[in-house]
Structure formats: structure tokens, C-alpha cells
Amino acid sequence: MSAAPEQLPATGRAWHLVRRPHGWPVPEDFALREVPVEAPAEGRVLVRNLHFSVDPYMRGRMNDVKSYIPPFQLDQPMDGGAVGVVVASNADGFAVGDHVLHFAGWREYASVPVSYATKVDPEAAPLSAYLGVLGMTGLTAYAGLLEVASFKEGDTVFVSGAAGAVGSEVGQIARLKGAARVIGSAGSDEKVKLLTEEYGFDAAFNYRDERPVVEQLKEAAPDGIDVYFDNVGGEHLEAAISRMNVHGRITVCGMIAGYNETEPTPGPRNMAMIIGKRLRLQGMLVQDHQDLQGQFVREVGGWVRSGELKYNETFAHGIESGAEAFLGMLRGENTGKMIVSLDA
């Protein structure tokens, strides 16, 4: 039995990109504006968003360049992962009160075609988990480690940006799947402690220390590494190549170290090692791995319910906090997934 429909407001607020950032984004690049809210057309549902996601890849969408996903348009609402409750439906199979995952975030109300809405169960997991550990973030970690990097039991795994939403899950999945050693890098001593004491990493280091990453990685992985899951690029990628064992595999998921640079960032200086070590480097996009969705939810959902896989979320509260939450995520202020929660 569906819930009674809500009284629909005439307008809701949505974040717009109003100018393209040069280097690091600043608050003035964004504006929170009123937009009309209308009853859904045929085949659509109107969703009151409860949580939306802010992610590193969104920085690339702020540039007017052709990529695997279209750039944000100026003076138009931005979008991204969100989860909310249906408040009006004009589609079979979706009722008022259903909770859905969709891609029209950064706003209070979203009109969504049902072909782009997925029902989620708030009893099975907290709704915010469908944006992180059980959502696109989690599938990125799962597919990037197991399929792209061809992880196998006994591998030594290094994860950069390991206290983030993707990295923390990669390390834990590797451990649960029988890695010989799991190593992570993070941007503060507090996060390093989190990796070893809560997430079960065997070793971790603070890449912001004065010592070069390559020195710290050599200390943490004296016998080399077999798999590197790259969220950072730059100095981390160069260090990983130097420590890779023969036939090592690298999943290139993100390169956040260079996202806000205004000049091209230098590549690793030791690329010749790829030849002698017969390394495999492969970029990944999560949408290429949707065939793993069912397997991923079953296996990782079980680990989450049993407590074997732990996750953290950092919440910013209120639609007004959207831009600052995004900027904070770029600065590394989050532990785990950064989520904007729209307080009712």
C-alpha cells in the first residue's frame, strides 16, 4: 500500500555551475537557485531527494571538454548519484513512498524517467549506503580489483587514497579475498590509523609526510606489490611502478592529484619499467562492469551485514552545503563517502 502523496511545492532548489573553474574550484563557481517543480509526465516519477553524492569525477565534468560523460552545462542544474522517495508517480510499478536510486542529484526534487530509477530497500541497508558501499562506489572497488586487476589470492595489494570511499573498500575486499598483504596511503595520520585499526590494512602511510612516497612504499612493501589500485596518479603511480613485481597489474581508476592543475601534469619518469616487468596498466569506468552488479550486491551486501566489511560516511547537512561538501571532498576532508543529506 503506497503512502499518501505529498503536497508538491511550486519550486525547489538546485545547484548550478555558473562558471568553469580555473584550477581549484571556488564557491563563486556555483549558485543555488530556485527551479520549478512539476507533476511527472508519463513514464516518470517525481522524487524528493534525501541524499546526494559528491565525487571526484565531477571535477572533470566542470571543464568544457569531451570525455566519457558530458560536461556540466553552465546555468543548468548539475547531476549525479542520489537516493530519495517518490512523491508523485505517473509510471506503472512505481508508487508514492517507494525509495529509488537515480542520477538527478544536486537538487531537492527530481523528475526522473523510470528507466533511470532503481528501487532500493531501506530495510536492507541505510539509504545512504546505496550511494557508496553498495552503490557505484562499491562496484568500482569490486570490479576494479577483481576484474580489471585480475586479483588472485596471495597478491600483495597497494591502494592510494585508501581512506576514501573506493579505496577503503578495495583494501577490505582484497583482505577478505585472501591477499598476502594490503597497503594503503592516506593524507593524514588519523586516516592512516583508521586504515590499520578499523579497515584491517597490514600497513599504511601518510603521503603528506616529508619522505617521498616511493621510500614509504618500499618500507611498507619490502617484497614488492602485485596489484596497484590507483586513485591518485602522479607521484603515487611512479612509486607503484618502481615497486611492482613482474607481471603486476595496475587499475587506473582516478588521478585526483592532477584534477585541479592548470598545466599538464608530468607522467611517471620510470615508464620503461613497464617493459621489463611486463606490467599491465588498465583504465576503468564503472559503467563497463554492470554485469557484475548482482554478484557484487550479494557478496558485498553479505559482508556489510555480517560486519566483515566496514565503511564510513561523511555527511554534510542541508542542500545549502552542497558546493562546500564538494570542495571539502576535493581537499580530502571526508573519511569514506562524502554525502549531502537533505534535512527534511
Mean pLDDT of 18-35: 97
Residue of 341, 246, 307 lying closest to 50 (CA atoms): 341
pLDDT level of residue 2 (50, 70, 90 thresholds): very low
Contact 283, 143 (CB under 8 A): no
pLDDT of 15: 98
Domains along the sequence of the chain with CATH: 11-132+311-341 (3.90.180.10), 136-287 (3.40.50.720)
Amino acid occupying residue 334: N
Sign of CA dihedral 138, 142, 145, 147: negative
Residue with cell 550486491: 297
Comparing CA positions, the residue from 212, 132, 211 lying closest to residue 168 is 132
Is the model's pLDDT at 140 over the cut of 60? yes
Evaluate if residue 86 carries a pLDDT over 90. yes
Question: 303: buried, middle or exposed (CB in 10 Å: 19+, 13-18, 0-12)?
Answer: middle
For 333, other C-beta atoms within 10 Å of its C-beta total 15
Burial class (CB in 10 A: 0-12, 13-18, 19+), 206: middle
| pLDDT tens column, 155-211 | 999 999 999 999 999 999 999 999 999 999 999 999 999 999 999 999 999 999 999
Which residues make beta-bridge pairs with 177? Answer: none
Helices of type H across the chain: 57-61, 136-143, 165-176, 189-197, 213-220, 234-243, 273-276, 293-306, 322-330
User: How buried is 214 (Cβ within 10 angstroms: 0-12 exposed, 13-18 middle, 19+ buried)?
Assistant: middle
pTM of the shown model? 0.87
* 256/165 Cα distance (integer angstroms): 13
pLDDT at 320 over 90: yes
**CA 6 to mean position of chain CA atoms:** 32
Whole-number Å distance between alpha carbons of 140 and 291: 12
State the pLDDT confidence band at 5, using cuts at 50, 70 and 90.
low
Q: What is the pLDDT of residues 245-279, one digit of tens each?
A: 999 999 999 988 777 776 777 789 999 999 999 99
Per cent of the chain over pLDDT 70 is: 98
Any bridge partners for residue 113, and if so which?
44
